[in-house]
Amino acid sequence: MNIAVLVKWVPEPQGTPVLGEDHLLVRQGADGALDPGDEYGLERALQLVERDGGEVVVVSMGPEIAVAAVQRGLAMGANRGLLVTDEVLRGADTLVTARVLAAAIRSVGTVDLVVAAVESTDGYTGTLPITVAELLGLPSVTFATSLDVEGTELRAERQTAAGTEVVACPTPALVTVTTGVAEPRYPSLKGVMAAKSKPVDRPSMADLGLTDDVIRSTQTVVAVEAAPEKAGGRVVEAGPDTAGEIADLLTEARVI
Amino acid sequence: MWIWADVADDDGVASSALELLTKARTLGDDVSAVALGPGATGAATALGEHGAMRVYASDDEALTEPTSRVAAHTLAALVREHAPGVMLFPSSYRARDVAGRLQAITGATLMANAVDLLSPDRARAEILGGTTIVEVALEGPAPHLVMMRPRSFEPEAVGGAAEVVRVEVVEPEGATAARVLEQTDAAASGPSLDGAKVVLAGGRGLGGPEGFRLLEELAGAIGGTAIGASRAAVDAGWVPYAMQIGQTGATVKPEVYLAAGVSGALQHAVGMKGSRRIVAITKDSEAPILRLADLGVVGDLFQVLPALTAEVRRRTGR
């Protein structure tokens, strides 16, 4: 079984990213890393391949620096990587990104399963993987909290608005997973060393058969403003008066 | 202008649809809703009362298959036939799946996390966890697809009745191969997160499912209080998903929001920062939630919460 895992390099995964003067996220020089949300699906993919055979390919689109995210995936145990980098993709919207990733997945050969996080930590649109699924003509199971594959069928428990459901779906298919799906391993030193010699494919737009007209973004940020800040908040150390202070606030709000 | 209405055969129409209709009406009179799945026809009354002139509806069970392919292809056929300029979606699971697929089929732009629509080609969206608002110009083929954050608008009934237009279901090849084997409803007990005046939210700092007992006791003392959770607590399996607040959960705007052991990651902040008053109790003096709080308390929640419960009981006599 071959699994493609979509991964993303994000700036400042633990902090707040910033916008540059061109209204795009500052990526160069940022303290970036593999999106922590991507490690859960990657871990589950590695477990499935370790059990049943096959290979895991980490697939990403991003700036040159995003190779660090792919390397991290390889260090965790993925067999190979693919990173699409091109200046024309800077500021790409979700449709362009989905088209690039769909073409990238097609280029890695036969894939039984595509795994992605439900949403990225920085952009959190939560629609990209499903657009990729439709472009590839694949069925999809989104918001999976567990994932298993038996033969040519996957089973996943997924969150829904009403509760949970268990879904069976033939492969090939795309699955988006929450952080509940597996506990990611920490890359070993051996894994980090081995990652350096694993292949990372770097296809160009032409290699992927992508022409200028399909990679033109349809969204342009024309103005940026800070959301209104909370005024007058205060922070205190817990002490003997704390309960009284919070109760005062509840009284003021007329909820007690 | 079109809007997507989430429907269910038992709960009727989602309030998000009524919010979207209210917004759509401010930009034009010709507003239609699309409702696909069991309960769609029944939803037409409420949709009409909130300003939909037309409801494209089908109650066909096939539309609820879990991959959303049937719904997306059915909607794509409708869109091709009637050529709306804009289509508004809520930020629900199902709407994400349908809109994501529709984008691939039509090649139209899809704007997520929108909080306002200024015109058919101009939207405002919250990014970076709601810390920044951007105005975005939308281009490309119609309809522009815009997914609105929950509770961006207050629903307003205007009276009126919608014409119901029957929809032909489109099934792409192999689209019904996925099937639901089991379904579990995990409705939270007590007042719903949506309408509660007070929301207490627990996070990883509660240490485990038993930590939520402290919140239940406080909720009992205050009354009319709903309990929610951060994604970390839900992902850890401590409480059901129905309690999750944040980007991938509920958005709440209560009179008082009290977070215990919640760090306030961007993911969480977008679901609660519209609350009238925010109290945060955390042992981490660097936790981002303290920046959102009217009253931030740095300390041991296992001491603060019981003391607060006792103080509230003393004042209310409960």
As a whole number, mean pLDDT of residues A52-68 equals 96
Q: What three-state secondary structure class fits A135? A: helix
Q: Which helix (H) or strand (E) covers residue A216, if one does?
A: none
Q: How far is CA A70 from the centre of its chain?
A: 12
Sequence-distant (6+) residues with CB within 8 A of B296 are A233, A234, A235, A236, B279, B280, B282, B289, B290
- The owner of tokens 């689109």 is A61
Q: What is the pLDDT of residue B186?
A: 67
Q: Which of A203, A233, A209 is closest to A86 using CA atoms?
A: A203
- The owner of tokens 């034009």 is B28
Q: What is the pLDDT of residue B241?
A: 80
Q: Are residues B77 and B217 in the same domain?
A: no
Range scoring the smallest mean pLDDT among A240-249, B18-27, B140-149, B234-243: B234-243
As a whole number, mean pLDDT of residues A148-170 equals 91
As a whole number, mean pLDDT of residues A98-125 equals 93
Strand partners, B54: B32, B163
Q: What confidence tens digit (pLDDT) does each residue in A203-247 have? A: 999 999 999 999 999 999 999 988 777 777 899 999 999 999 999
Q: Are residues B218 and B160 in the same domain?
A: no
Regarding beta strands A153-159 and A140-150, do their DSSP bridges make them parallel or antiparallel, or are they unpaired?
Answer: antiparallel
Q: What is the pLDDT of residue B45?
A: 94
Distance from CA of B56 to the nearest CA of A (A): 23
Q: Report chain A residues whose CB lies below 8 A from the CB of B138.
A: 218-219
As a whole number, mean pLDDT of residues A151-173 equals 91
Q: Are residues B47 and B117 in the same domain?
A: yes
Percentage, residues of chain B above pLDDT 90: 74
Spatial separation of the C-alpha atoms in residues A85 and A98, rounded to whole Å = 14
CB-nearest partner of A180 from B131, B147, B235? B235
Query: Is the per-residue pLDDT at B89 higher than 60?
Result: yes
Q: What confidence tens digit (pLDDT) does each residue in B117-157 have? A: 999 999 999 887 777 889 999 999 999 999 998 888 989 99
Q: Which of B132, B179, B182 to mutate to test the interface with A (most CBs of A within 10 A)?
A: B132
Q: Which helix (H) or strand (E) covers residue B12, if one does?
A: strand B12-13
Spatial separation of the C-alpha atoms in residues B105 and A135, rounded to whole Å = 8
- The owner of tokens 């539309």 is B63
CB contact under 8 A, B93 and A162: no
Q: What is the pLDDT of residue A84?
A: 98
- The owner of tokens 């954050």 is B149
Query: Is the per-residue pLDDT at A27 higher than 80?
Result: no
Name the amino acid, one letter, at B148: M
Q: What three-state secondary structure class fits B110? A: strand
Q: Report chain B residues whose CB lies below 8 A from the CB of A122.
A: 128
Spatial separation of the C-alpha atoms in residues A161 and A33, rounded to whole Å = 31
Find the DSSP H helices in B40-182. Answer: 40-49, 69-82, 93-106
Which CATH number belongs to the domain containing residue B234 in this structure?
3.40.50.1220
Range scoring the smallest mean pLDDT among A144-153, B138-147, B243-252: B243-252
What would you report as the CA-atom Rg of chain A, rounded to the nearest whole angstrom?
21
Q: Which DSSP category does B44 fall into?
A: H
Write down the CATH number for the domain with range A2-215: 3.40.50.620
Please indicate, yes or no, if residue B177 is contained in any of the structural domains. no
Q: What three-state secondary structure class fits A218? A: coil
Contact criterion met (CB below 8 Å) for B83 and B76: no
At which of B120, B144, B166 does a domain end? Answer: B166
Q: How confident is the model at residue A120 (pLDDT cuts 50, 70, 90)?
A: confident
Q: Are residues B234 and B141 in the same domain?
A: no
Q: What confidence tens digit (pLDDT) does each residue in B168-186 have? A: 999 988 777 899 999 887 6
Task: List, in sequence order, every beta strand (DSSP E) within chain A.
Answer: 2-6, 9-10, 33-34, 55-61, 80-84, 113-117, 140-150, 153-159, 163-170, 173-177, 200-201, 219-226, 234-237
Please indicate, yes or no, if residue B180 is contained in any of the structural domains. no
Q: Are residues B291 and B222 in the same domain?
A: yes
Q: Which DSSP category does B28 fall into?
A: -
Which CATH number belongs to the domain containing residue B47 in this structure?
3.40.50.620
Residue with the larger pLDDT of the pair A163 and A118: A118
Q: What confidence tens digit (pLDDT) does each residue in B292-310 have? A: 999 999 999 999 999 999 9
Q: Are residues B82 and B124 in the same domain?
A: yes
Q: What is the pLDDT of residue A202?
A: 98
Q: Are residues B25 and B133 in the same domain?
A: yes
Distance from CA of A79 to the nearest CA of B (A): 28
Spatial separation of the C-alpha atoms in residues B304 and B318, rounded to whole Å = 19
User: Which chain B residue has the Cα nearest residue A162?
Assistant: B185
Q: Report chain A residues whose CB lies below 8 A from the CB of B191.
A: none
Q: Report chain B residues whose CB lies below 8 A from the CB of A141.
A: 66-67, 178
Q: Are residues B159 and B238 in the same domain?
A: no
CB contact under 8 A, A119 and B181: no
Q: What is the ipTM of this complex?
A: 0.91
Query: Is the per-residue pLDDT at B222 higher than 80?
Result: yes
Sequence-distant (6+) residues with CB within 8 A of B19 are B90, B148, B150, B151, B152, B153, B154, B155
CB-nearest partner of B247 from A124, A173, A179? A124
Q: How confident is the model at residue A32 (pLDDT cuts 50, 70, 90)?
A: confident
Spatial separation of the C-alpha atoms in residues A54 and B125, rounded to whole Å = 42
- The owner of tokens 């459901």 is A165
Q: Which of B15, B56, B82, B44 is closest to B160 using CA atoms?
A: B44
Q: What is the pLDDT of residue B211?
A: 95
Instruction: Give the N- to C-terminal CA distance of chain A in Å, as an integer.
Output: 59
Spatial separation of the C-alpha atoms in residues A84 and B201, rounded to whole Å = 41
Please indicate, yes or no, if residue B171 is contained in any of the structural domains. no
Percentage, residues of chain A above pLDDT 70: 96
Distance from CA of A196 to the nearest CA of B (A): 33
User: For chain B, how many structural domains are there in total?
Assistant: 2
> Domain range spanning residue B18?
2-166
Query: Is the per-residue pLDDT at A177 higher than 90?
Result: yes
Distance from CA of B32 to the nearest CA of A (A): 23
Query: Is the per-residue pLDDT at B187 higher than 70?
Result: no
**Ranked by mean pLDDT, which of A5-14, A30-39, A183-192 comes out on top?**
A183-192
**Ranked by mean pLDDT, which of A42-56, B3-17, B220-234 comes out on top?**
A42-56
Q: How confident is the model at residue A33 (pLDDT cuts 50, 70, 90)?
A: confident
Q: Are residues B90 and B161 in the same domain?
A: yes
Q: What is the pLDDT of residue B265?
A: 85
Query: Please, what is the average pLDDT of chain B?
Result: 92
Q: Are residues B119 and B234 in the same domain?
A: no
Is the N-terminal amide bond of B120 cis, ω within 30° of 0? no
Q: What is the pLDDT of residue B177?
A: 80
Spatial separation of the C-alpha atoms in residues A63 and B113, rounded to whole Å = 24
Please indicate, yes or no, if residue B187 is contained in any of the structural domains. no
Q: Are residues B139 and B202 in the same domain?
A: no
Q: What is the pLDDT of residue A22?
A: 82
CB contact under 8 A, B132 and A19: yes
Q: What three-state secondary structure class fits B200? A: strand
Q: Are residues B14 and B112 in the same domain?
A: yes
CA distances from B286 to A148, B128, B252, B298 (A): 38, 18, 24, 9
How many residues would you count in chain A? 256
